[in-house]
Structures are given as structure tokens and as C-alpha cells.
Amino acid sequence: MNVASPTCRFDFSIDVPDWLKAALDDSDPHGLLSNLSPNEVDLVRRAFQFGYDLHEGQCRASGEPYIAHPVAVAGLLRELGGNGATIAAGFLHDVVEDTDITSEELEIHFGEEVRRLVEGVTKLSKFNFSSKTERQAENFRRMFLAMAQDIRVIVVKLADRLHNMRTLTHLAPAKQKRIAQETLDIFAPLANRLGIGRFKWELEDLSFKYLDGEAYAQIRDLVADKRGDRESRIHAVASTLSERLQAVGISGFEVSGRPKHLYGIYTKMQRQQKDFTEIYDIAAVRVIVNSNDECYRALAIVHDAFNPIPGRFKDYIGLPKPNRYQSLHTGVIGKGGRPIEVQIRTADMHHVAEYGIAAHWKYKESGSSQSQWTAEDEKFTWLRQLLDWQHDLKDAQEYLDSIKDNLFEDDVYVFTPEGDVVALKQGATPVDFAYRIHTEVGNHCAGAKVDGRIVPLDSHLHNGSIVEIITQKNSHPSLDWLNFVVTPSARNRIRQWYKRSHRDENVARGREMLEKELGKSGFEALLKSEPMKMVAERCNYHSVDDLLAAVGYGEVTLNQVVNRLQDTVKVQQTPPEVPSFEETTRSLMSKAIPQQSPSKGSKSPIAGIEGMVYHIAGCCKPVPGEPIIGVVTRGDRGISIHNQHCNNVSSVPGERLVPVSWNSQEEAGRVPTYPVDISIEVLDRVGVLNDILSRLKDNNINVHSAQVRTTEGKPAVIDLGIGIRDLGQLDRTFAQIRQMSDVLNMRRLQEGRVS
């Protein structure tokens, strides 16, 4: 049954593209939906109607109906050749986030394939995170995981971002800059990684427009001013090449010129430190022929007709880029002595250059299985690395930095001794190469040969070099390697090795922390008990020692272990020889001095000493959330407030002890901070202190003092004096800093008690 025409069924105040009208009318005389089956056209129509009804009454910042955005996104996906499910996901990509519809309901209406695509691009707006950085990192973690299951997820996301960038002018300037920076850092490189050149160039230019409007306008005007001269030069080169190609019998070719996009010109000016007038190759001539053989024949003709510029030839046909881009690039001296770039490729190569991963969609069957869309192909090695780092990098900022590093395209191509090609970042070293081959090759790297000659490990690799790694069983990573490796995978593997090498220290530290929390009585038997093994398994660790190491390093907090242990003991009968949870903690609790209930209406942070002079003891420096006790001083300093577990309290006579407790911050009437000294052992690198301070800033923690101690070849030690509101804030901060890859150890310094 035909659906009523848009003018009857829908009240549009937006332009309806012809392809959508054809889908709604169930007629396609112009073949606008010829790549879709009847069932797919029906799916597209139903998805639009569903999205239209759900978004009805919603408006964008521009004031236009919200449905204009899903229509535009679906249109971009159609241009890329997406199947029915992909285009339907374009219409529906915001319904889970912006309406009351759930993923489960979406699957009932449109199937599992559409639900998976929509779910992959949905933001985590219903979750709570401690910072914008953590929210952004978690969004990307989820997005990359969804990409691994179905690569179309990121294509839908890119179409969504491109239309948002096209309409960014309606947002506040601060939001424009934030979104533009994220686009330039993440989404434009992602489009490049997937080979979707037409998305990449527009995303970069639009980001450039909002990040540096003055430079954007200046380059745009300069390019426009030089248009006549540029077109004249391109026409002269194109005419010459056309005549030469015809003369040697190459037919069916196409020669055209194109200006380079504005952001590309800008980055070249910045990289080469040149003015616009010094950048001559702001345009390129593209030659499209029929076969690989004709590409190389055309190259010979170009070099015969014009003088080639040394060092400007690149063969991306023989060695394709990681995103599968193929073309021959060469620079020549054109008419009037001006340099010009010439690109030579086949029509299929050009299609891949424009559409990237989407260029292969037409070879997929409609309703294909999920496995056909996964990222198992070798060209997605970078994506698998990002997924691996989701487990290795717990810190949000480090994960974002790794994403940004890894998304920028590889520039150096080297060979293994067996002749396999390995793509690396510009400036890569033999150590980067070793870790790209395998983690253990990197961990046991003792030397390297490049083209048969032994070279220093910090040597930069160059295109075409044959690299051989010399390994030894007793060799291990050096801290110095962090000063010259450039690939995120190498940096992360080196850090991980150093963390694992400190395992024994972490196990001992975790044991000590847990023993202080639970008490010594029955502690050893508890560690060997079945409940403790179950706790380790619930925390995803293979053994109790692994759990203790995680506690010592900070991946798991004491509260998590204690709470899960308590839950396990409650539901399981404890063997007679193993004390119960309550029994193991009885010795600790028996030492606790009864605390007085807070006095309502008190404005003092300490309850039990109202009207008396007091001070926080400098030996243990307790903070709210820790059990405290007052000690009457012999001088005129009044009551000294100690942690109940402070060693200095044990020798104080009972008559000098005063039961006290913390008032709630609301009762205290203000939120004071308390001094805490911490010591952090880190891998010594430039910027590590700044990264730690940024975490403290994110948690609104003031730093009163800082001291850094370094010893050549050994980890650095950073001692900080900070102001803390309560124990919860301290625990959260410790957890965030301990998750940093460069942090080996972190502890709180207390003279009366070290934790």
C-alpha cells in the first residue's frame, strides 16, 4: 500500500530531498533508491515516519524542526551508498538519547541491526562521571567497541558530526570552539583513517573556520583572489597531459584540477613556516585512467612533459596507505616555473579515496551478517589497538591522548627481514618497530639493525628501510626509551612492563593495607579462605595475590574489597578454622574509642569539644571520614585531634583522651580543607608533574607544596602537600592518579601511621 504524499501526511517546514520523497511516495522513477531492495525502501520509509513522530515539537538551536537533522544525516549516508539499515539508523540515531524510546523498543520495530547501529552512536547522557574528560573518554570507549562490532557505527557518527558542523553557527562561541576542537582532534582523523576523504576535508575546513576564523577568512580570500591565475596554470598542464596521453594510445582518461582545501594550506604554511605567497602548490591536477599499468605509463608521460621535483614522488599504489588509499603523487614544475602536484589513479582508486570504507558497501549483501562488518580486517589494526588500550589505560585523559596520537596517519613504511611492510608514525625508532611486531620482541629488545647495519635504538626510521630487532632473554625495557619512542603502543607497553616489575612491592603494599583495615587476628587464614578467592574472582583477578597487587597499585579500592568480602561471608557458611568477617574485624573494632554523637547546631567541624581550643595533629593529619580521638596537650594548645590508629596515641594515658567525632559539613556550616602529605613514584618524563596537578585541579584540590626528586635511570619521586575536604575526596583522587600509566606507586605520608 502506498504511503500518502509528504504534503498530506507531514507538515514540513524543511526542504525534503527528492530521494526521501521517492521513498515516502513508494515510487522512484529517477532511480534515486535503485541500490535498495523493496524491503529496504520500506525500512527507510518506516524509520523516517518513526523519527518524525518522536521528534515532533522538538527544535534545533537554529529554530528549525529537529527532524531536519536526521533527514540530513540519512541523506549523507545515502550518498555514501549505505544500505537500508544504515540509512534508517541515520533517521533514528538520536531517538534513544532525545526521546522516551528505548533500545529494546527500537529493536522490536526495526530489528537488531538498526538497534545496534543506533546504540553505537548514542551518547552516555544518562550516566554520571566525575569530569567532562571522563565522560568524553567513556563515550569514545563505547564508540570504538561498537565500531569493532560494526564499522558502520562510526560512519553514522561521522555523518551526524558533519551536519552538526555545517549548522554550528547557531551555538554559543565557547561551544563552537569546543566542538570544533573535538572534531579536528578525533572525527576528522577518524574520517581519514576510514578513507572518507570528502568527509575529512569538510570537517577540517569547518573546524578551522571556528577555531581560527581570522586565518580561515584570510586564506579563503587569498585562494579566491588567485583563482584566475590558478585555473589558467591548471588548464595549461591539463591540456598538455591530455595531448600526450592521447598520443600514446591511452583512452577513456580524465584530467581535472582541484584546489587544495583551506586547512591543508594552513597546516602547510605552519609546518614549513612560510607565507601564503610562498606556498605554490595550492592546487593539484588529477589524472584518472583505466588500469594500474596505465597509471605508471601516465607517470612517465608527466615526467617527460614537465621537470619532476626531486623527493616529491610517492607511490601509494605499490604501498597503499593504512586507510587503503592508492594513488601516484608527484611534484613537477609547471608553466611559468610554478610547482604543481599531479595525482594519478584509476576510477576505482578514486572512488575509494572519496568514500573509503563506504566504497566497499556495494559489495555487501543487504541484511548481511554482523561478521561481515567487523573490524577484523588487517586495515583496522589501529582500531584493535585502541580496543586493547581500553583495558591498559584506566585514566581518562591518557586514553584520550592515545586516541588522538593513534588516529593521525602513519607516515613511514619499513620492511621486516621477511619483506612484510610495517607502517609507523613519522619519527618512529627501532623500539617502536619492535613493539609493533610483538610486545615480547619490544620487552627483550637489545639492539637493532637497519639495512644490515647496527644502529642506536633512538635512530629515526626512513621509508624503505629493512629493520631487524636483536633480542636477548635477559634484556628489558629502559626508562630512557620513553624519551624517544613516538607510538602510543610502545609507550604503553614500556609502562606496563615497569608496573609488572613492581608486582611484589604492590602485593606487599596491598597486604599491608588490607591487614590494617581488617586487623591481624585471623588475617592469614582469611587470605587463604574460599571467600577471599571468591572476592578475587568477583573483582576479575585470577588469584588473591593479583587482587592484593591491584589494591597496592590502586586499581581496586579497599572499600570495594571489604564490601565484597562482607557480602560473600554473609551468603556462605564459613569453615570453623576460618574466622567470619565480623570476627576478623573484632580486634580492630575493639580498639576503637566510642565516638560522641555530633551536636546539632554546632558550627565546629569537631563534635565533643565545643568551646575548647583544638588543632589537627601534625603527625597523622586526620581528615573527615577517619575515626578520631582527642588528646589533652600539656601546653596551651588545647585538644590535639589524632587518627584513632595513630601510633602516638597508644602511649597516651586514658585520662588525657577525649572522645570526639566529625560533625557533618552541613552542621559545621562551612567546608574546610585539611592538610595531607602524599608521595608519588613515577616514570620520569617531561610533563608528568603537570598531568598529576591537572588531576588534582579536576577534583578541586589545592596544592600547598611540591617537591620533585630525580635520580638518573630511576623513577622520580614527587612529594605534594594538598588540602582535602574528606576521606572520600582523598580516595577518589588516589584512584584517579594511580590509574595514570606513569605512576608506579602512591602513598599517604603520616608520621604516626603510614598508609
pLDDT in tens, 582-592: 443 333 333 33
- Identify which has the larger pLDDT, 559 or 54: 54
Give pLDDT, residue 434.
Answer: 93
Q: pLDDT at position 391, please?
A: 54
Q: CA–CA separation, 412 vs 515, rounded Å?
A: 52
Is residue 132 exposed (0-12), middle (13-18) or buried (19+ Cβ within 10 Å)?
exposed
What pLDDT score does 359 carry?
Answer: 66
**For the segment 90-102, what is each residue's pLDDT rounded down to a tens digit?**
999 999 888 888 8
pLDDT at 639: 86
pLDDT band at 13 (very low <50, low <70, confident <90, very high): low
CA-closest candidate to residue 390, choices 494, 472, 488, 465: 488
CA nearest to 160, candidates 259, 77, 67, 274: 77
Confidence of residue 43 (pLDDT cuts 50, 70, 90): very high
pLDDT confidence of 468, banded at 50, 70, 90?
Answer: very high
Instruction: Enter the C-alpha cell of residue 603.
Output: 558550627
CA distances to 146, 183, 198, 401, 488 from 208, rounded to whole Å, are 29, 10, 16, 20, 26
Residues 200, 348, 240, CA angle at the centre, nearest 5°?
90
Average pLDDT for 524-531: 83
Average pLDDT over residues 369-381: 48
Give the C-alpha separation, 420 to 425, whole Å.
Answer: 17
The CB-based long-range contact list for 1-9 (8 Å cut-off, 24+ gap) reads: 2/26, 2/27, 3/45, 3/49
Residue 695 phi, psi (nearest 5): -65, -40
User: How many C-beta atoms surround the C-beta of residue 265 within 10 A?
Assistant: 21
Please tell me the distance from the alpha carbon of residue 464 to that of residue 330, in angstroms, as a whole number. Answer: 18
Q: Report phi then psi at 682, rounded to 5.
A: -135, 160
User: Rounded to whole angstroms, how far apart are CA atoms 293 and 44?
Assistant: 42
Share of the chain above pLDDT 90, in %: 18
Residue 77 has pLDDT above 70, yes or no: yes
Instruction: Please report the pLDDT score of residue 387 as a whole number.
Output: 56
What does the pLDDT read at residue 524?
Answer: 82
Average pLDDT score over residue span 120-140:
58
CB 324 within 8 A of CB 356: yes
Selecting among 25, 64, 97, 698, the annotated active-site residue is 97
Residues 677, 621 contacting (CB under 8 angstroms):
yes
Phi, psi of 150 (to 5 degrees): -155, 110
Lowest mean per-residue pLDDT among 91-105, 441-455, 610-624, 661-675: 661-675
- By DSSP bridging, strand 339-346 and strand 328-333 are antiparallel
Q: How far apart are CA 158 and CA 181, in angstroms?
A: 15
Quote the pLDDT of residue 129: 46
Q: CA-to-CA distance for 294 and 257, rounded, in angstroms? A: 19
39 pLDDT exceeds 60? yes
Cα–Cα distance, 723 to 196 (Å, whole number): 49
- Distance CA(153)–CA(139), nearest Å, equals 13
Burial class for 578, CB neighbours closer than 10 Å (0-12, 13-18, 19+): middle
Given a cut of 80, whether residue 396 has pLDDT beyond it is no
Supply the pLDDT for residue 280: 61
Q: What is the largest CA-CA distance in the chain?
A: 110
What is the mean pLDDT of the segment spanning 173-185?
90
d(CA 497, CA 487): 16
Confidence band for 597, pLDDT divided at 50, 70 and 90: very low
Please tell me the least confidently modeled range out of 185-194, 351-360, 602-611, 664-673.
664-673
Q: In percent, how much of the chain has pLDDT > 70?
A: 79
Q: Binning pLDDT at 50, 70 and 90, where does residue 166 land?
A: very high
> How far is the CA of 431 from the CAs of 57, 398, 428, 483, in angstroms?
58, 21, 8, 11
Match 575493639 to its residue by C-alpha cell.
590
Reported as a pLDDT band with limits 50, 70 and 90, residue 292 is: very high
DSSP 349-374: HHHHHHHGGGGGGGGSPTT--GGGGS
* CB 662, CB 607: distance < 8 Å: yes
Phi, psi angles (nearest 5°) of residue 36: -110, 145
Strands (E), 644-701: 657-659, 661-662, 674-682
pLDDT, position 611: 72
**DSSP bridge pairs for 286:** 256, 343
Residue pair 95/118 in contact by the 8 Å Cβ criterion: yes
Collapse the DSSP code of 390 into the 3-class scheme (helix H, G, I; strand E, B; otherwise coil) and give the result: helix
- In angstroms, how far is CA 424 from the centroid of its own chain? 19
Residue 433: pLDDT over 90: yes
| Side-chain half-sphere CA neighbours of 368 within 13 A | 17
Q: What would the mean pLDDT of 287-291 be, rounded to a whole number?
A: 93
pLDDT digits (tens, 9 = 90+) for 187-243: 888 888 778 888 999 999 999 999 999 989 988 888 877 777 777 888 888 899 999
User: What phi and psi values does residue 529 have, to the nearest 5 degrees?
Assistant: -80, 160
Average pLDDT over residues 158-179: 92
**In whole angstroms, what is the distance from residue 554 CA to residue 577 CA?**
31
- Distance from chain centroid for Cα 612: 53
Is pLDDT of 289 > 90? yes
In this prediction, residue 362 carries a pLDDT of 45
What HEC string does 579-641 produce?
Answer: CCHHHHHHHHHHHCCCCCCCCCCCCCCEECCCCCCEEECCCCCCCCCCCEEEEECCCCCCEEE
> Is the pLDDT at 605 greater than 80, yes or no?
yes
What grid cell was written down for 16?
A: 525534503
Top mean pLDDT of 18-32, 128-142, 239-253, 674-688 is at 239-253
Highest mean pLDDT range out of 353-367, 437-451, 689-703? 437-451
Residue among 25, 42, 64, 98 flagged as catalytic? 98
Residue 257: helix, strand or coil by DSSP?
A: strand
**Res. 636: pLDDT tops 60:** yes
C-alpha cell at 215: 586565518
Q: Is the pLDDT of residue 111 over 80?
A: yes
> Could you tell me which residue, 519 or 353, shows the higher pLDDT?
353
Q: Enter the pTM of the model.
A: 0.60
pLDDT digits (tens, 9 = 90+) for 656-687: 888 888 887 654 445 788 889 898 888 877 77
Residue 395: band (very low, low, confident or very high) from pLDDT cuts 50, 70, 90 = low
Query: What pLDDT shows up at residue 586?
Result: 38
Strongest mean pLDDT among 21-25, 218-222, 403-407: 218-222
> Looking at residue 381, what is its pLDDT?
58
Cα gap 289→349, rounded to integer Å: 10
pLDDT over threshold 60, residue 1: no
How do strand 606-607 and strand 628-632 relate by DSSP bridges? unpaired
Question: Known catalytic residue: 98?
Answer: yes
